């Protein structure tokens, strides 16, 4: 069934990038044809750049996503952005429940689920992030934690078309550390089994599960070849087009 899942390599730029950074998008777009049909490419710049990037990428195979949204469509929420606004700016997807938002903004699974629903309401795909902390892994609680996050963060109605799961061990983000391939396989297989229990085998077979956390060109091939890994959510290495493309090259 894996052949039916088109891998998705997405760059999460986090709070990085100014107008001039469009040069990196241009470089990715220039190479995009080589990847078409093998792997989907997405760039998620900060919200200030979503409209500019989406306009530039229009008609190219590069999708533009956002990094977070509010659960409401509009209202008195100073500083927040709705999924509708991101869609209006040209985004096709939004990351929700990234560990940095769960940690720094105290987002709960229920809030993440509400944001995923907001994404769907606006016509966006939701990229839902899950992953354990170092302490949780050391305590042997990885699957318990990830299972709880998957259960709590994925809305009813999840399909392969409207949702992607990103497994991002918190301790692997920005640290240069990565789990063993056996650990990645265990987590991804577990997540797919949980999805199958709740949404049925067809949804589980089709839904993409990205790995995220210190993915770089030098380790991408190994990580992307692990069973049940359907692409990557890339942080730091996505800021340079050469590195981002180097990671996606795992699928060429």
Q: Which stretches of the chain bind ligand 13P, using CB under 6 A?
A: 12, 98, 168, 173-174, 212-215, 233-237
Nearer to ligand 13P, 199 or 208 (CB): 208
Q: Which residue of this chain has its Cβ atom nearest to ligand 13P in the complex? A: 235
Nearer to ligand 13P, 89 or 127 (CB): 127
CB of 129 to ligand 13P, least distance (A): 7
CB of 1 to ligand 13P, least distance (A): 26
Nearer to ligand 13P, 84 or 188 (CB): 188
CB of 74 to ligand 13P, least distance (A): 27
Catalytic residue, from 70, 98, 107, 194: name it: 98
Catalytic residue, from 111, 168, 188, 194: name it: 168
- In SS3 terms, the chain reads as CHHHCCCEEEEECCCCCCHHHHHHHHHHHHHHHHHCCCCEEEEECCHHHHHHHHHHHCCCCEEEEECCCECCCCCCCCCCCEHHHHHHHCCCEEEECCHHHHHHCCCCHHHHHHHHHHHHHHCCEEEEEECCCHHHHHCCCHHHHHHHHHHHHCCCCCCCCCEEEEECCHHHCCCCCCCCHHHHHHHHHHHHHHHHHHHCHHHHHHCEEEEECCCCHHHHHHHHCCCCCCEEEECHHHCCHHHHHHHHHHHC
Q: Establish whether 98 is a catalytic residue.
A: yes
Q: Establish whether 151 is a catalytic residue.
A: no
Nearer to ligand 13P, 130 or 203 (CB): 130
Catalytic residues: 98, 168
């Amino acid at each position: 069934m894996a052949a039916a899942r088109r891998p998705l390599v997405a760059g999460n730029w986090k709070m990085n990038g100014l107008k001039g950074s469009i040069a990196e998008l241009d470089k990715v777009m220039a190479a995009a044809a080589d990847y078409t049909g093998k792997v989907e490419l997405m760039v998620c710049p900060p919200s200030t750049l979503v409209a500019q990037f989406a306009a530039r990428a229009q008609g190219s195979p590069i999708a533009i996503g956002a990094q977070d949204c509010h659960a409401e469509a509009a209202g008195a929420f100073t500083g927040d952005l709705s999924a509708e606004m991101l869609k209006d700016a040209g985004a096709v997807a939004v990351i929700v429940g990234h560990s940095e938002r769960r940690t720094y903004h105290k987002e709960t699974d229920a809030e993440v689920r509400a944001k995923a629903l907001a994404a769907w309401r606006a016509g966006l795909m939701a990229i839902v992030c899950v992953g354990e902390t170092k302490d949780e892994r050391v305590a042997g609680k990885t699957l318990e934690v990830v299972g709880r996050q998957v259960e709590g963060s994925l809305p009813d109605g999840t399909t392969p078309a409207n949702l992607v799961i990103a497994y991002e061990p918190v301790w692997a983000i920005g640290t240069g550390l990565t789990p063993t391939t056996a650990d990645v396989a265990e987590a991804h297989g577990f997540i797919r089994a949980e999805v199958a229990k709740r949404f049925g085998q067809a949804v589980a077979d089709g839904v993409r599960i990205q790995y995220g956390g210190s993915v770089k060109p030098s380790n991408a091939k190994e990580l992307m070849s692990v069973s049940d890994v359907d692409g990557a959510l890339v942080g730091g290495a996505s800021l340079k087009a050469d590195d981002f493309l180097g990671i996606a090259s795992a699928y060429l």
